[in-house]
Amino acid sequence: MPKYANAFDVLPEKLVQEIHKHYCGGNLWIPPAKRISACVKDEILNYREQGYATKVIADMVKRSPRRVCQVIQQHHLKQEVQKRVSTQVLQKAVAEEVSHWKPGKSPATIAELDQSVQAEYQKKFGEAMSMFKGR
């Protein structure tokens, strides 16, 4: 994948003229669309699950081996955050539910407990992921 391309080779002339109105001379970086990046990340993770080496994956998705490693590492970190948050939330929910049990009073139904666990999980996971993105 070429790192640079002449704008006149890949863009319509009118678009290049419009770009010149806003930016003249030098290199202009155009980031890939978010959708494409998500597709590439999924592709990288699928190839890794199939057992391909980092260098081979990099060649197939036309990214650097360093970027492939970053995507894989981010995926592993996200999975670890999900696992830790879900364990903490479940422990907290069960502890709170058990603390409310009184003799003669039946505990909450599984569905009620599940709803509270899901709500707490979504909240905690959102907090954890916002910290993760800030890295």
Which pTM does this prediction carry? 0.48
DSSP letter for 134, please.
T
pLDDT class for 85, splitting at 50, 70, 90?
confident
| pLDDT at site 58 | 93
Q: Which pLDDT score is estimated for 59?
A: 94
Q: Is the dihedral of CA 8, 11, 16, 22 positive or negative?
A: negative
Q: What is the pLDDT of residues 112-122, one digit of tens each?
A: 656 666 777 67
Please give the Cα distance from 110 to 123 (Å, whole number): 20
Alpha-carbon distance of 117 to 111, in angstroms, equals 10
pLDDT (mean) for 7-16: 89
Q: How many CA atoms lie within 13 Å of 105's alpha carbon, on the beta-carbon side?
A: 8
CA pair distance 40, 45, nearest whole angstrom: 9
In the predicted model, what is the mean pLDDT of residues 103-114?
Answer: 56
pLDDT of residue 12: 92
Alpha-carbon span 64 to 72, nearest angstrom: 13
Q: In this model, does residue 1 exceed pLDDT 50?
A: no
Lowest model confidence (mean pLDDT) among 45-49, 62-66, 119-123: 119-123
CA–CA dist 55, 52 (Å, integer): 8
